[in-house]
Amino acid sequence: MARRRPQSFQAWALGLTGAIITALILYYVRVAAIEHMGQRQIEHAQASMQRLQEQQSQRASVQPHPTDPVQHQPDPYEIQVMKAAAESQRKHDEAWEQYYTPARGCDNWQSDSHMVECLNHKLRAKREFEQKWAAGELDQPKG
């Protein structure tokens, strides 16, 4: 068996440069994806706040005059639906807390790439959890 001839310094340097450039590109793509997700969450929160403000302003315009004897009472069905939705969300959040265990060492990020690895681990786990939750494969927490 013939011994492989070592590469020249130029070939080695070119390979190293290519590897570094590839790693940087992957890093910036992941950072951009995380920033994009954050931006979408901010936009979603702003849209929700705007809808809430519009609803409040509509309610304020529909409110009876303070001297009117009839005061608006909340609809019992709406209250029941809101309570059920809040309970469902609480169970969902509790199940997530029981389901997810952070990857080892992800309680203190050592670098940006380590942060990305930890966040990717959590996103994969969340995606898997949501699929199982929707399919009813997870036990509903007692409470």
- Average pLDDT of the segment spanning 106-128: 91
Domain boundaries, the chain: 10-62, 74-143
Single-letter amino acid, residue 59: R
pLDDT at 71: 62
**Angle value at C-alpha 36, between 33 and 37, nearest 5 degrees:** 90
Extract the tokens encoding 47: 């849209």
Residues in contact with 99: Cβ distance below 8 Å, sequence separation at least 6, in sequence order: 125, 129, 138
Q: Return the percentage of the chain with pLDDT > 90, whole number.
A: 33
Element spanning 84, H or E: helix 76-99
Q: What is the pTM of this model?
A: 0.44
* Residues 95, 133: Cα–Cα separation, whole Å: 9
The two three-digit tokens of residue 42, written as one number: 């901010």
What span, in angstroms and rounded, lies between the C-alpha atoms of 138 and 143? 15
Distance CA 68, CA 84 (A): 32
Q: What is the pLDDT of residues 13-26, one digit of tens each?
A: 888 899 999 999 99
120-141 confidence digits (pLDDT tens): 999 999 999 999 989 888 776 5
Q: Is 139 helix (H, G, I), strand (E, B) or coil?
A: coil
